[in-house]
Amino acid sequence: MLSSLRFDTAQQRIFSQPLVVPLDGSFTSVWSKMRKAAFVFGGYTIDSSNSSVAQRTLFMYQTNGSAGNGTPTFRSAPDSGAIPSARYGHCMVEAYNGTKMVLFGGFDQVGRALGDIFVLDVATLRWTRGTDGGATAARAYTACAITNDLFVAWGGVTLDPQTGFASAVSENITIVYNLKTLQWQSTYHPEPYAPPQLVTATPTATTPTPTSAGTGGRLSPTTVTLISLVGGILLGLLLIACGMEEETRPSFMENHLA
């Protein structure tokens, strides 16, 4: 029994919703912006003999219900075309603004690592098969992503034929598939990241308009300088005049002796 978590923005609460899904693990789930639903593919189930059985069914989980009545629904999707074989531990990722889904790799029923790649048209639910990556690309439980026209996968595991256990990929750790040319690439040169330029406001210098004293505004620097100069001259002349008056005025002793 699987379950999903739903956050109700009106009630500010998280609800757990049980899902009746005939899968026990190692499936992939990717949200589709175009369908407003989650796609679930592959995985395995445990049979009565406690053995895992790989699956190949595509499911759709709609949180708002297929009829838009708010009741979540989980149902098989009527996909067609080159449907991928039964597998588990594969990766699936959204591409081209949600119009495509890319599925890659995984383990088949006998535990053999797969290197095939498929593209699902989200509108028509039709699969197309790409170019097989062969033994060098085969892996399961890999991380994958889409950048422009390139599918990029890195890491993962393969099954060691001697021990029967999974071992980490040690060669061709990163692999690239061109979705436009439908070819695997041996090199990858990502475009350098150019951070956006920051737009900053340039301060505008404001030059004060000179005004005269008679207008009630601020005095210009030239006017202030002239006033200071004239005031200094008048003060100097006043001090000189006072000095001359003191020299010509008879002292108290001179007046008393006379």
Task: Please give the CATH number for the structural domain made up of 2-185.
Answer: 2.120.10.80
- Among 201, 148, 157, 195, smallest CA distance to 176 is for 148
Q: How far apart are the C-alpha atoms of 100 and 78, rounded to whole Å?
A: 16
Q: pLDDT tens digit string along 105-137?
A: 999 999 899 999 999 999 999 999 999 999 999
**Res 65: pLDDT:** 61
Q: What are phi and psi of 241, to 5 degrees?
A: -65, -40
What is the pTM for the complete model shown?
0.66
Cα 104 from chain centroid?
Answer: 24
**pLDDT tens digit sequence for 144-201:** 999 999 999 999 999 887 888 888 998 899 999 999 999 999 877 766 667 777 766 6
What is the CB neighbour count within 10 angstroms for residue 66?
13
The DSSP 8-state label assigned to residue 215 in this structure reads G
Look at residues 170, 176, 118 and name the one whose alpha carbon lies nearest to residue 149.
176
Please give the Cα distance from 154 to 92 (Å, whole number). 13
d(CA 171, CA 176): 14
